[in-house]
Chain A
Amino acid sequence: MKRLTLTVLLLSASHLAVPAATLSEIRVFPKTIHLSTRDDHQSVLIQARYDNGITEDITSQATFTLSNPALCSKEGNVLRPRKNGTTQLTITIKGQTKIIPITVKQATTKRPISFRLDVVPLLTKAGCNTGACHGSSRGKDMFRLSLFGYDPAGDYFRLTRDFSGRRINLAIPEKSMIIEKTTGAIQHSGGDLFTRESPQCKTLMQWLSAGAPDDAPDVATPTKLELFPKHTVLEGKTTQQLMVRASYSDGTDRDVTKLARFMSSDELAIKVSPHGLASAGVRGEAFVIARLATLTTGTPFITIPKNAPAATLGKSNNYIDTLISRKLAQLRITPSNLCSDEIFLRRATIDIIGSLPTPEEFKAFTSSPSPNKRADLVNALVERKGFIDLWVMKWAELLQIRSGQDFSYKSAILYHNWLEQQLSSNVPINTIIHALLSSNGGTFSTPPTNYYQVETETLKRAENVAQVFMGTRIQCAQCHNHPFDKWTMDDYYGFAAFFSQVGVKKAEDPRERIVFNKGNGDVKHLVDKRVMAPRFLGGDTPKLEKLDRRKVLADWLTSPDNPYFARNVVNIIWAQYMGRGIIEPVDDARLSNPPANPELLDALAKKLVESNYDFKTIVRDICNSRTYQLSTRTNPSNELDERNFSHATVRRLRAEVLLDCISTVTHTKDKFSGLPLGARATHIADGKTSTHFLTTFGRATRATVCSCEVSMEPNLSQALALINGKTVGGKISSGDVVKTLLKEGKSPTEIMDILFVQCLSRKPTEGERSALADQLVDDKGSADALNDIFWALLNSQEFIFNH
């Protein structure tokens, strides 16, 4: 029946005619043109946007007219200076006219060649300073460059002074090794990069002929990088030319499309040529980034097949659905249908409280006629103890609560209990994190100070804060500017400086430590040993006066204006319930890994702030959304969609929840070290405590803050542990569930129904019922036969997975 409905829907969808697109807007890039110095140039892009969201590169269809051709020359869509003054470019296209003002300055002045502005970007574009080539920490073939040019002064030294007479030849510049290698005149492991006649070679020759000068100390530095167009939706196998413009500290700007390096996050969807021509591939999304010097910028692309039918969207339950639908409509993806009540009950109960619904809950929910029963269920579940337990476990993983050589079990227990008490008292999440980051005192008497005992290295503390509370990984920037993000080494060491004054001393109890603000201590930059002033990541340099640096950081991080914190928290919550973050992985937000739905992330973050950081509100919103309640069954339009939440995902139960569920349905108790008999696995305070079962199923060791600590990947050992291991078989026999039910006088068929409901939250299908009934008749309804059914249920994928 379900399949039939789906087919009907799909059929009806395919009948939806794609309406003829009408032009809704013409966008011109850039809005103004500044040409300064003789060799400057600026290209112009024109993009059409249609009412169905599709965009088109129509630059070649336009007519360009200069008001005063004496001031600049025009070659296709590229303008070059001739004479100082101001004029304008008139663009005529599809019956519309656009005007771009032009300013020309220093039209006859030749800009001196610059190592930093011309040579280094050229080397970066050619790939010379990538990690696989000379950008490797040990260099390549005895020549090292800084990775992606983070240290131009060092690059200049190594190119000109490090191996005197080898890499450059100022007497005969064309005999310089840097020319001969790159043009293939002599053997080069990196291959022939460009020809003698290429602009790149000319630039290098120009620099060498000028005597390979270093830049003046006041050389302009790029301050802003813009990538045009800002948003592109390509239909069919079409293309879009990109344009990159850099602004400099001296107030000038340059068209650096030829100097910038392009990368696409999904080359199947969008492929970008070195010259910035983006070509559409399969249906999907990609984020294209352009990189120049230390700057990186990006733009999103969507590609949809030619004539893809429009999406059929369901009713929105709340803002989440509206924003998801908006994106799906753009992608022309029809979301899956709503899941059944039985599936929803099981899914929500496992997700929210880490348990299976009891047969009584199953009966009450499935028989309830209330139209609001799903919302009522969600509201009830978030108030149960299991909800807190799961979130304490999640935060305990992120905070790495794990005993060890310098971290006593008592510390772990106290830290865990503190966290539990905070979450069960509904303390706003930003208040909890503020308390952690700004904590001072004994690790026993003030448990949040354990945050600084878990990780004792200054740089790692900074990295962990960025990763856990801001969802971004800055580790790369310790040694070089981040290759795929905007973080520079200055950002890294400036941020680390917030943790440079954390003091730790012995307390009276040998197991305890006292964390305090030393009031002194600095972090120095790795390259030039500068003392770094504390600077917020991606933000300002605060006035510290004599304040505790960590408190200043905590104030900034947890304030409602912070651009990272709330987005990161809601992303973690979203990932917990949807199986995938809006940014995925949740702790790897970066320019080259943008959110799947930035508007949704912003809306959730806004809601979190408005609710005074009450994460229960977000959980309710998520679980009450239609998006959460979709079926896992896909349709042709969404079967390949993995990132837009157009269908629910099948997720294996995490180790602790799986064990608790097995114990619950088999009526057995577990014993974990340091916990009384019968304690749930989700209650284990210490990351070091584990069992063979939990380890096999990927329990987080809490050795790092990485979201990858929890392994959800199914593997062969897990299957064998369930089939042959002691857990399932042992618990079935020691729990005596079947025997008890038989004693209560239940018939084998009734028992079969009960087992199905307990394990799978559904009754057996007719097919299952008849197949198993035959088996029961053969075995005369014996306990063994029923236990076999029980065993099969616990080994079924339907049990092990949340769906």
Chain B
Amino acid sequence: MRPAMLKPLLGLALSAALPLHAAFTVTHFSPSGAPIGTNTTLTLAGKDLQHAREVFFVSPHIKGTITQQPSKKDAEKKGKPKPANTLDVTVDIAPDCPPGAYPFRVRSVSTLSDMFLLYVSPWPNTLEEEPNSIVADAQAISQNTVVNGVIKKEDVDIFAVDAKKGQRLTLEVEGMRLSRKLFDPSISIQNEDRFVLAASDDTILLKQDPSMSLIIPKDGRYFIKVRESSYGGTDSAHYRLHVGDAPRPYTVFPLGGPTGQALPLTLLGDPTGPISLTPTLPSAPQSRFPIRVQGKHASAPSPNWIRVSDFPNTLEIEPNGGRTTATPSTTPPLALNGVISKERDEDWFRFEAKKGRNYHVNVFARQLRSPLDAILDLFDEKGKRLGGKDDDDGPDPYYRFKPSADGTYFVRIRDHLRSGSPAHGYRVEIEAVAPSLAINLPPTKQNTQNGQALTLSPGNRTAAVFTLSRKECKGAVNIDFPNLPAGITAFADPATKDAEKLAVVFEASTNATLGTHTLTPVASLTNKSGIVSGRLEQGITLVYGNPNNRSYHARVMSDLIIAVVDPAPYDIQMTTPPTPLVRYGQLTFTVRANRQEGFTAPIRCDLQLRPAGVSGPTQVTIPKDKDQVTFNLTANGSAPLGKWKLIVLGSATHKGEPYFCASTPTEYTIAPPYLTGTIDMAAAPQGDTIEINCALSQHVAFDGNATVTLYGLPANATTQNAQITCKDERLSFEVIVATNTPIGEHKSLFLNVSVKENGNPIIHNIAGGGVLRVDAPPKNAPSKKVAQGKKNGKAKDTAKPTSQLDRLRAAQKERRGQMKADKS
């Protein structure tokens, strides 16, 4: 299967898998965070929140409880149903809960909400109070608190805080990171004379979120102004403003270290000067390991990040600005750490590499929030540049390197704009290429989280189509769910070695208890070098924004969320077709619904898993009150032969909420065609009768007669069906071209052949692209000689007939003769 062909089909299939209409929806909540070791009530906003049943946190440190359902007054007004738009939830945060952002979803009667993040921090929280848009109305707050606020349209929030001379005052805002709509906050701090001491909009450490830390010049009251950077804002533009004396370093050196070791770190950017720390690194590699600096009263509002790897560090030794002074390192795997400390600086390292090995050369700078926009170059020992890179899906470069000889090689790092500072740190990891495997469950609709969490009803099924990412390996992929909760089972056929998708059907037993669970899927493949296993790497975009709905904030999840929801009022099944789908043919499928009594709503059926070369509807609907629907799949000449499975995902609205369920996979076969053929080009004047001849190639014998229909004739041209056996090689149709049949070339003629096997028809659509040219009748037309063919089309076993061209020539000759005769 060609990936290029698969992609558009995937898009079609996925975009169709939507709920019928949005019902239960959570849009945002307030406050956006809570202190560690407390019970806090959150108010969720959205639509139809009376259907909420559970608040589910992935972390065991936080428990969410629905404390107040929307009142009936909210839900119904003046007798008309009105969506309930708020819901109170209490979160219980354990005292040992580490600070950070914690994902959660809300389960309703039939679905799961989008994923949201709750921010947990040690400081007490307070709420913003309007009016606070001018200095005179500034809201007084104390230090070491977090203010939860909202920037409404063109809003400005001003807070007053008292600070002492010489103290460090750190301000930091969580805005974009709160997983709302695009919200880009900006802050500034003024003294009592309205002089702006500092301002922050975007930061390298926090991207669109601002942060600043300064030493207070004199005792007094200071005013903190929060706004949207372009004076925008919405009702859901929530923010959390941290105000206190916490340390706030912005970069770390080195940007990583070996597993399990104590690593001396220097953190830069804090106004009090460099901070030294020697944390013990975890025993397993981590791509982003948080370093949170502890101050006298509190830790930094957010962590700095380093990498933890399985191999040793090389630290740069200045001067290393050229090949001859390059800092020496060993053989890969290795990690080179340095800083582009001033403008136009460049750092060189040397290492040993083996001929024929493939190496990844990965630079980590911006990924670990260094301001460096690195350019990577590799050189051999003679100084010849072998290659390099600037950006690779982000500012950090990546280069794949295969040495042509054993020897010494050089790495050069510099900044793209040739700038530099003590903060411009980087880490280069060079290691041999190794096979890897990962799976993902992408959204079923662009720019949403749809389909990234699963729901199923007791006694019913749901399906998920995972995408596979194999690197440096090939082979069939199995998937396993080691921690399936009681009552849920999963079925999946291995993905073939060429397949890029893998479908899994989950089934809940009739007595499965309602609730939400995390699954940890493990994929594996076996190839010549052994078993390669991989986990879920599910990117969930939390904030989309302009231009073109780009991702501004995302989270990668290794756990899949699945919920058992209220029983669906229906289930669906497909019948296995009795015949194969032949190339150039079509096959009819039937979807049947088993409806609960009283449930009559239409059921939308999205068709999942269709290989390239097979086309048909992406979606069909079982009409209201009906129990089944049929649809056809057609195969072109390149449809992959073999056994395939089709899954139908149903969705239907019941009592205002969408319920999803899947059929069991239905197997069908794609087979070669029984016969193929061509249609000879034909031409006839209006009002004439013509024979259209066809050549057949028989590939598979069949019993009895097959019915052949000629399709694609122009308007008002008629013919009769023909019968053939598996021995026939030619076939002709007598076509009557009417006097009002449109003049021109009609190029879409084809043959529809219904071959029967065990009494079941196998439909072929062969000999496509046949041409019938219809001409204007000749002036002074000779007396019309209608071909005396039989009325019914019939297979011919005679020799090849006179061609149409021969007949036209003869007619022309005859006309000329007639003209000469007229003249004479």
Measuring CB to CB, which residues of chain A are less than 8 angstroms from any residue of chain B?
Answer: 405-406, 408-410, 413, 440-441, 444-445, 505-511, 514, 516, 674-676
Contacts and interface: CB of A to CB of B under 8 A. Distances in A.
Given A510-B545, A674-B230, A441 B417 contact: yes
B394 A675 contact: no
A409 B373 CA distance: 25
Given A505-B391, A506-B391, A510-B550, A516 B366 contact: no
Interface string B202-237: 100001100000000000000000000111100000
Contacts of A406: 547
B417 A516 contact: yes
Contacts of B156: 676
B352 interface: no
Contact of B231 (A405, A413, A509): A413
B391 A516 contact: no
A195 to B, nearest CB: 60
Nearest to B549: A510
A30 B395 CA distance: 66
Contact of A674 (B154, B201, B545, B548): B154
A509 B391 contact: no
Contacts of A511: 545-547
Most B CB contacts (10 A, CB to CB) among A405, A406, A409, A508 go to A508
Given A441-B417, A516-B416, A510 B547 contact: yes
B184 interface: yes
Given A509-B202, A509-B208, A674 B547 contact: no
Most A CB contacts (10 A, CB to CB) among B154, B156, B207, B366 go to B154
A406 B417 CA distance: 22
B545 A676 contact: no
A356 B394 CA distance: 52
B552 interface: yes
19 contacts: A408-B546, A408-B547, A409-B230, A409-B232, A413-B230, A441-B417, A445-B202, A505-B390, A505-B391, A508-B395, A509-B207, A509-B552, A510-B550, A510-B552, A511-B545, A514-B417, A674-B154, A674-B230, A676-B154
Nearest to A405: B547
A511 B548 CA distance: 10
A675 B231 contact: yes
Interface in B348-376: 366, 373
A562 to B, nearest CB: 27
Contacts of A674: 154, 230-232
Interface of B: 154, 156, 184, 201-202, 207-208, 229-232, 366, 373, 390-391, 394-395, 416-417, 545-548, 550, 552
A410 B366 contact: no
A674 B229 CA distance: 10
A344 B391 CA distance: 60
B230 A410 contact: yes
Contacts of B390: 505
A507 B202 CA distance: 13
Most B CB contacts (10 A, CB to CB) among A410, A444, A507, A674 go to A410
Nearest to B155: A676
A410 B552 contact: no
B528 to A, nearest CB: 39
A514 B202 CA distance: 15
Contacts of B391: 505-506
A440 B548 CA distance: 26
A413 B231 CA distance: 9
A511 B546 CA distance: 7
Contacts of B545: 510-511
A508 B366 contact: yes
* 4 closest A-B pairs by CB: A510-B550, A410-B230, A413-B230, A409-B230
A675 B547 contact: no
| Interface residue SS majority, chain A | loop
| Interface residue SS majority, chain B | loop
A676 B231 contact: yes
A537 B391 CA distance: 36
Contacts of B546: 408, 510-511
Given A413-B229, A444-B202, A511-B545, 13 more contacts: A409-B230, A409-B232, A413-B231, A440-B417, A505-B390, A505-B391, A508-B207, A509-B208, A510-B548, A510-B550, A674-B154, A675-B231, A676-B231
Nearest to B394: A508
Contacts of A444: 201-202
Contacts of B232: 409, 674
Contacts of A507: 395
A405 B232 CA distance: 18
Most A CB contacts (10 A, CB to CB) among B154, B156, B230 go to B230
B364 to A, nearest CB: 14
Nearest to B202: A444
Contacts of B395: 507-508
A733 B546 CA distance: 41
Contacts of B184: 410
A76 B208 CA distance: 83
B755 to A, nearest CB: 55
Given A444-B202, A509-B202, A514 B230 contact: no
Nearest to A440: B417
Nearest to A505: B391
A675 B154 contact: yes
A445 B395 CA distance: 15
A675 B228 CA distance: 12
Nearest to B390: A505
B728 to A, nearest CB: 61
Contacts of A445: 202
A129 B821 CA distance: 63
A669 to B, nearest CB: 13
B642 to A, nearest CB: 42
A514 B416 contact: yes
Nearest to A671: B154
Contacts of B550: 510
Most A CB contacts (10 A, CB to CB) among B201, B202, B545, B548 go to B202
A509 B390 CA distance: 17
Contacts of B230: 409-410, 413, 674
A472 to B, nearest CB: 32
A410 B229 CA distance: 7
A211 B453 CA distance: 86
Contacts of A505: 390-391
Contacts of B394: 508
B778 to A, nearest CB: 41
Contacts of B547: 405-406, 408, 510-511
A154 to B, nearest CB: 42
A54 B395 CA distance: 71
A655 B346 CA distance: 53
A679 to B, nearest CB: 10
A406 B156 CA distance: 27
Contacts of A508: 207, 366, 394-395
A674 B231 CA distance: 5
A735 B646 CA distance: 70
B423 to A, nearest CB: 14
A506 B550 CA distance: 13
B388 to A, nearest CB: 14
A516 B184 CA distance: 25
Contacts of A514: 373, 416-417
Contacts of B366: 508
A406 B546 CA distance: 10
A406 B391 CA distance: 20
A445 B202 CA distance: 8
B10 to A, nearest CB: 24
Contacts of B202: 444-445, 509
A499 to B, nearest CB: 18
A516 B373 CA distance: 12
B390 to A, nearest CB: 8
A408 B547 CA distance: 8
A516 B417 CA distance: 7
A515 B395 CA distance: 14
A573 B395 CA distance: 43
